[in-house]
Amino acid sequence: MNKQIKNILKITLPLVLGVFLVWYSLAKVSLSEILEYAKNADYVWIFFGVFLGLLSHLSRSYRWLFMLEPMGYKVKFGNSVMAVFATYLINYTIPRAGEVARATILTNYEGVPFEKGFGTIVAERIADLIVMLGIIAITLFLQFDFIYGFLVEKFNPVKIGIGLVVCVILGFLFLRIIKKSNSKIALKIRNFASGLIEGALSIFKMKKKWAFIFHTLFIWGMYLLMFYVTTFSMSELEGISAGAILIGFISASFSIAATNGGIGSYPLAVYAAFSIFGIAEAPSIAFGWIMWASQTLMVILFGGLSLIYLPIYNRKKTNS
């Protein structure tokens, strides 16, 4: 498969998958029913959730400055904010194109070399991945009894035990093979793991490392709180458990990587998680759509304004 075909598939497959998942979710719960839930929702909580999402994006923009400053670049906070919002908006069109655009914006308006700007974005993603893994670990610890009970109820305990043992053995063998192999795939995996460790350790070498760590935790705290407070907008989700919130949040977060901005996949991921806790299909999918739509509209608004205002904001610099 040549490079051109690969690039075409990278763009078209997420879009096709997103369209299919939108159709599939609407086949399970009709659009009119979803609109009815949206009509009856309490928009005070929805707007509060959007506000928390906005705070997380502003914090991400400020955190970026901590990584650029040690390299000698005093980037305007305004440019950082607009670059971040432009990233989210562009990612709705072509997956991961937003990160390239974000680094390019800094190159054009702040003179930061593309490779350096992009390197800081990769390091940020590593920090975010570590926090996400931490949330998963905490969820597994707090909800171990429930998750174990659910698996035992759905599957044979003996088969679960055998499956875990097999997974551990396969994992050990996989690591041994990757460590000794010189194949391209093995080298890529080793380089990725090495970069992950190096990126994580580099955080502790920053001058403002504690501020960076605070903002990283704040960003993800706002993400989680945003998901939680939006559940208050629907009376059908009253009294939802902490386990449902955590597992729903994790499932929804991973769905964003499946399609462009989580279109189609986000509501179904929420439903898949909530169904474990016996929450009905219709309100689960409706909540997923409300949650996704509110955050998407916020990104479209601020991302669109950012792309329009960036050249105006930097007009003096551009003219000079």
Per residue in 263-305, pLDDT (tens digit) is 888 999 999 999 888 899 999 999 999 999 999 999 999 999 9
pLDDT band at 183 (very low <50, low <70, confident <90, very high): confident
DSSP secondary structure string for all residues of the chain: --HHHHHHHHHHHHHHHHHHHHHHHHHHS-HHHHHHHHHHS-HHHHHHHHHHHHHHHHHHHHHHHHHHGGGT----HHHHHHHHHHHHHHTTTSTTHHHHHHHHHHHHHH---HHHHHHHHHHHHHHHHHHHHHHHHHHHHHTHHHHHHHHHHHS-HHHHHHHHHHHHHHHHHHHHHHHH--SHHHHHHHHHHHHHHHHHHHHTTSTTHHHHHHHHHHHHHHHHHHHHHHGGG-GGGTT--HHHHHHHHHHHHHHHHHTGGGTTHHHHHHHHHHHHTT--HHHHHHHHHHHHHHHHHHHHHHHHHHHHHHHHHTHHHHH-
Where in the chain are the domains? Answer: 28-312
Give tens-digit pLDDT for 125-150: 888 988 999 999 998 888 877 776 76
pTM for the predicted model, two decimal places: 0.82
